[in-house]
């Protein structure tokens, strides 16, 4: 049995892992799905949130465990688990990227996201006047972007929980080394019909930053 820490993506919260958490727990695993700052029940203001803020929350959960963890990141959560692995390499059994941003040292998520011409997000993105946060403009596009094959009840619940996404973390270059981040095994779960992080970008990232296994 393993300890799983599930890191959510942009606009979402730990709540989005609910069904998966129940399945993993039913198999005997221990599961944590924390809300990152400014998401879920956490009300930290967007202009106070950094990538380091995200990493600290995940690191706190890791530090409370008695064994190495499986660290899973979805979408934007990929940059969080990568940077966390740089600071806690010995406490992480492996990294699992679920349709997630898989960056190399010095890269920032915003650059790759803009280059993803197959994603529906860039054309529907709106920033606050001070650029401290960004949202998807037009709730009618949310199903197509995020929830294409989800049940209506799950979509309604998810949409009601979405929050503005802080901008600074995605504009922060990752600082990764072979000695720390590079020693942690990486796995990638790709998605074939993703409209947020497109299959094209997923292939590009896994080619540039190979993983032990691509599913």
Helix (H) or strand (E) holding 158: helix 152-161
Angle at 13 between CA 7 and CA 14, to 5 degrees: 60
3 state DSSP class of 17 = helix
Instruction: State how far the Cα of 58 lies from the Cα of 52, in Å rounded to an integer.
Output: 10
The one catalytic residue among 10, 21, 53, 75: 75
| End-to-end CA gap in the chain | 21
The 10 Å Cβ neighbour count of residue 179 is 9
Q: Annotated catalytic, 160?
A: no
CA 84 to chain centre: 12
Instruction: State how far the Cα of 36 lies from the Cα of 43, in Å rounded to an integer.
Output: 10
Q: Which two tokens stand for residue 191?
A: 């998605």
Tally: H helices and E strands in the chain: 7, 9
Report, as residue numbers or ranges, the catalytic residues: 75
């Amino acid at each position: 049995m393993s300890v799983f820490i599930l890191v959510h993506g942009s606009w979402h919260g730990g709540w989005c892992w609910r069904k998966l958490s129940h399945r993993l727990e039913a198999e005997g695993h221990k599961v944590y799905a924390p809300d990152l700052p400014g998401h879920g029940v956490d009300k930290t203001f967007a202009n106070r949130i950094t990538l380091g803020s995200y990493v600290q929350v995940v690191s706190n959960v890791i530090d409370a465990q008695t064994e190495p963890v499986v660290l899973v990141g979805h979408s934007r959560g990929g940059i969080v688990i990568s940077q966390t692995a740089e600071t806690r390499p010995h406490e992480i059994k492996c990294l699992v990227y679920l349709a997630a941003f898989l960056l190399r040292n010095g890269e920032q998520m915003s650059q790759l996201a803009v280059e993803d011409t197959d994603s529906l997000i860039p054309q529907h993105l709106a920033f606050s006047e001070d650029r401290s946060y960004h949202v998807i403009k037009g709730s009618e596009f949310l199903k197509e972007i995020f929830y294409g094959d989800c049940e209506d009840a799950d979509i309604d619940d998810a949409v009601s929980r979405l929050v503005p996404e802080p901008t600074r973390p995605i504009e922060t270059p990752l600082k990764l080394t072979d000695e720390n981040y590079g020693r942690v095994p990486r796995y990638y779960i790709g998605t074939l019909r993703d409209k947020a992080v497109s299959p094209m970008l997923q292939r590009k990232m896994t080619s540039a930053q190979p993983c032990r296994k691509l599913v």
